[in-house]
Amino acid sequence: MTKYLSAKIGPSILNANLAQLYEESQKLLDNGADYLHLDVMDGHFVPNLSFGHPIVKCLRSKIKDAFFETHMMVSNPEQWIEPMADANVNQYTFHVEPVEDVPLICRKIKEAGMKVGVALKPGTPVDVTTDYVDLADMILIMTVEPGFGGQKLMEPMLQKVTWLRENYPELDIEVDGGVGPTTIEACAKAGANMIVAGTAVINSTDQAKVITTLRDTVNCYLGENKSK
C-alpha cells in the first residue's frame, strides 16, 4: 500500500520566550502548527544548554494532545529515552554521531513507545542511513550546525534530502535550520515534508500566515511527486 506523505510544520520553540513556554507553544498550535519541535541540548554534544525532560513533562501536562518531537542534541541519547517516554513524548529524534550502535537506540525508543527520528549533522554523509533507515520513522537532515537558532540554511545539505527522497520515496524527511518563507521552496523541491522553522515563525507578526505558506509550498511539491 502506498503511503501518501503530507506536509507537517513543526515550529522550534528554542527562540520563544521560555518564561512563557506554555503560552508560546499553545499560540503556535492555535496558529496551525502540526507538531512542536523541542530542542534538548546538553552543553556537551552542542555548546548550548536548553531544557530537559522536567520542562517537557510540565509542558505536556498543559498541552495534552499535540505531537511532541524532542530533538536530542545530546552525547548520550540512550540516557534520556525513558524520561522522555515518561513525559509522553511522541517522537524521539537523536543524532547518530555520538552513538556506536544506532539500531539498538532505535529499538529502545520503539520499546519505550515512541517514534524514532534519526538526525544527521551537516558533516555526516547521508548514506550512513542505509544501515538503519528501516528502523526509523523519520530522518532529520540538519541544514545548519546544531545548537543555535537563527542560522542561515546550508543549501548543499538539500542534496542529502534529494538522495533520501529518491531512495526512500515514502520516508518522512525533516529539515531543520534556516528554514522560512525564503528558503522553503528549495527544501520542498528537494523532497522534505516535515519542516522545522524557528525564528521565521516565532518572530513573525503573523505566525498563521507563515505556517500556511510553508505548508502550501511543501504540499505543492508533494503533489507533483505523486503525479509522476
Given this model, what pLDDT does residue 1 score? 41
Buried b (16+ CB within 10 A) or exposed e, 24-61: bbbbbbebbbbbbbbbbbbeebbeeebbbbeebeebbe
Q: Report residue 64 as a C-alpha cell.
A: 495534552
- Residue of 30, 34, 39, 131 marked catalytic: 39
Q: What is the pLDDT of residues 147-177, one digit of tens each?
A: 877 789 999 999 999 999 999 999 999 999 9
Question: Which alpha helices (H) appear in 170-206, and where do they start and end?
Answer: 184-190, 199-202
Measure the CA–CA gap between 91 and 112, rounded to whole angstroms: 10
- C-alpha grid cell, residue 68: 511532541
pLDDT at 226: 58
For the whole model, what pTM was predicted?
0.95
CA-CA distances (angstroms) from residue 165 to 27, 52, 58, 109, 189? 32, 32, 36, 24, 10
Residues composing the chain:
228
Work out the mean pLDDT of the chain and round it to a whole number: 94
Q: Which residues contact 136 (CB under 8 A, 6 or more apart)?
A: 106, 116, 117, 118, 129, 171
pLDDT at 3: 65
Q: Which of 16, 36, 26 is nearest to 149 (CA)?
A: 16
Domains and CATH numbers, the chain: 8-227 (3.20.20.70)
State the catalytic residue, choosing from 34, 127, 176, 216. 176
Annotation marks residue 131 as catalytic = no
Residue-wise pLDDT tens digits, 38-64: 999 999 999 888 999 999 999 999 999
216 given a catalytic annotation: no
